[in-house]
Structure 1
């Protein structure tokens, strides 16, 4: 667990994202090039230790579409600041955008699979700070509203503009990112100590003492003790050096409170009206996401066609009987995940348009109904990975060191 949490978009993050894309495309793409040091990573705190008590620190993942055979895709780290709101880094949303499908993990061990030690909750809304600057990591913050509140105490926030920050001060960083230690894998919640080296209006810099944030730690919390002895969430890991050894840049939370965090906390999800039946989504068009069950998107796949409730990775289709694996579903159907967990989370998914028979298909085939969105994402990720290899400082810095799927803009990005 390196204190440089701003690496979520770094090498590890890129590797994980590419792995997800290859799975979506049927694992037909050529082996991607090795990520460069500039890529933001999804690493755990370097020179850190386990953090079993930090239950309010969560992992951010791409939402899973399948119930079996789909790898977990760690993007970044985040922190609960209310029972249904998570604070993370804006660059963690670079690849899938604010309309992307996400979920969070609450627990100490997400990876390695197959048995994460914790629970998953779907993200219903994501917003980036309107002043976010990708290259400088200014205002590199995002807020996620969960589909349902969790029974976990959030981290306390500092007063607006009054965080107790000064050079030489000790701070604690927590994240799920890279450890730079082959015997201590990423994907496990770890914590370590930093020392503040410089304090600015919108952020602060920190060095190892002896820990550092790294790829996958992006979006994770930086904590300091206030006058009353309580730890306060004063920073969001945003970026750092490629090696996760020298310096991490963190966004100041107290600078975001009045214009970004507090207004979001005061809001709430729009009430849901009647939703379309899962078994008739192929026949029933939608006009807004509020009509779609389980947080599915209301989108039109064909130009000029009616909008349907769907998951972009699966396209249009109906959801039938509860299942645990693909073998329990009929020919042409798969066991798809509607919600992160629960008895009814997994149901047999049947595409509205049957996939072509093997003899009719040419080349590789992927998940049912692979869309142009998926192919576009794969091409973008492969190009982005190659372009990052050319220089020493491309990508979404903060996440590059710890995360694994963010765009990289700091020295750690690859």
Structure 2
């Protein structure tokens, strides 16, 4: 939060989406400074990432007795796909009685009620599916008789893991424990809400799940980059557009990825990163024989061949086919690229985000037509960032406060 308070735990389930508990959003309130923390100790090191949008399950009614205690939060930027935790999609019935690893940043001592912002891990076991609160929960308890490990305040939204063929899968989201942080503890089941809520949100909101030159299978169900003719890591023939995995573009030519260039380097134009072209390291202009290219320093690339003016296929250039354009998008004889105002994918000055066919939104020049007549302007409102907040503590973890007989947010995942 804006005060640095830890209130819930969460799990990165796609490069840009964190899964947590529904009641955690009540803890966040309207604080616009809520962020997600990646690390083991919120007081030292780690990394904080802003939260752009949060959403609870549509059937969450604020009561644990109603079930559906899950929420998703969209980060401002995608994270490393290697950090994504896979979610369980198998039947949990065979796992009743099995070990269940829990993680959280919550209260670690039910007597002193100390909350120190550190991530802790504990081992519990699955007692049953369902229970007295709602049939959608997993009820768990400590594997040891001392009952020292339980869900407690601040652990809410954190993950519970099962192991399948040596791989851990997120099977539960910490939701409640009995008052005072005693067992049984209960976790919401993501598998029950996957198809109707979690996966659709990921696919529609996570930029990594869209065409961006990187095949991401972690969390995304249908990343178009993973199709054979896209950046899936294999060179395919017979593609309508150039396969970015095939090194067919020469120095100075349009590219989407390093693998598409015979030089092994695809760089973005400084004025507009949507325009990319094949380059190579250089020491002087003689190393850049392509017309219009010079040797100079480019931020993030070092000294490489760059265009003095516009590279081929830049926004607004004339085109006859998609392959004439850097973004492989030729609309009414002009190179352009897609845009999405609600998701802050904007057009540069002089262009507006609009649609010509009622479906795809692209950047369209605001310059008046060459001939007389009237031209209409876009009705799109100016963009603004829409941010709610929720401090998500990752690996996936976030915390929260307990309730009565059944404390709605408590996960003491500290070891005994």
- TM (norm. structure 2) is 0.49
* Higher-Rg member (1/2): 2
- TM (norm. structure 1) is 0.49
